[in-house]
Structures are given as structure tokens and as C-alpha cells.
Amino acid sequence: MTQNPFGEGGFDMNALLQQAQQMQEQLMSAQARLAETEVEGTVAGGQVTVKVNGTGDLVAVSIRTGGFDAEDPDDMADLGDMIVAAWRDAKARADALASEALGPLAGGMGGGLPGLGG
């Protein structure tokens, strides 16, 4: 007689499904909280600030008045670069937040879920 690879009690499919459902509910809850959370990225001492939600979607851009000349092409190019840099700062913060919130849940599912947190 061969030994049962699932232990003395055998394989409990109901318990496994229940655990998977709980993990899915926790994951969905964490994702909903992330979508509602906003983080900021800023550059040039606050000249440009962007907000993204915890899933990385851009939700706002704020440019301090008086810092740029709309008639100067170099100023406008600099402004564009600053917006990109501020977005990268905010996105990095959102990614860290997502890793923190989803990491324990994703880690329980074979080391991670593709497409989440980053």
C-alpha cells in the first residue's frame, strides 16, 4: 500500500477553496483601498506636483504659477520634463504602497501575481 501524499487526513478540497476565496476577497479589498489612496510626487521645490492613486493612475497635476514663461519654448520643455519627473516620483511611491499592501497576499500565491503592484 502506498502512502497518501496529502497526509493522514487526505486532501481537503473544500478547505483549499475556502482559503482561496478568502485570499481573493482580501486581495480585492486591498486593491479597492489602493484605488482610493492618492500619493504625490513633486519636483523643483514644489514647482510641479502630481497625484496618482495607489494603482498608479494619474489623477492631478499642479503647477505653481509664476515659475514658467508660456512664451519660452525652453521653459515649456523644462515644464514637460518636470511633469514626467514628478509623475515618476509619485509612481514609485504608489508602487511601494502597492507592494506593501499586496505583497503579503501575492506572496501567498506562489510568490507573486503578474501585473500587480507595478
Query: Is the four-CA dihedral 84, 89, 90, 96 of positive or negative sign?
Result: positive
- For residue 28, give the C-alpha cell: 480585492
- pLDDT value at residue 116: 44
Q: How far apart are the first and last CA of the chain?
A: 49
Q: Is pLDDT at 90 greater than 80 in this prediction?
A: yes
CA dist 75 and 46 (Å) reads: 16
pTM of the model: 0.63
Residue found by looking up cell 514637460 in the block: 80
List pLDDT tens digits, range 13-28.
Answer: 888 888 888 888 878 8
Q: Which domains does the chain have, with CATH numbers?
A: 13-106 (3.30.1310.10)
Query: Is 84 or 99 the better-scoring residue by pLDDT?
Result: 84
CA dist 110 and 85 (Å) reads: 34
Helical segments of the chain, H only: 13-36, 73-107
- For residue 60, give the C-alpha cell: 492631478
Read off the amino acid at residue 61.
Answer: V
Phi first, then psi: what are they for 86, rounded to 5°?
-65, -40
List pLDDT tens digits, range 21-74.
Answer: 888 887 888 778 877 888 899 998 889 999 998 888 899 999 998 878 888 899
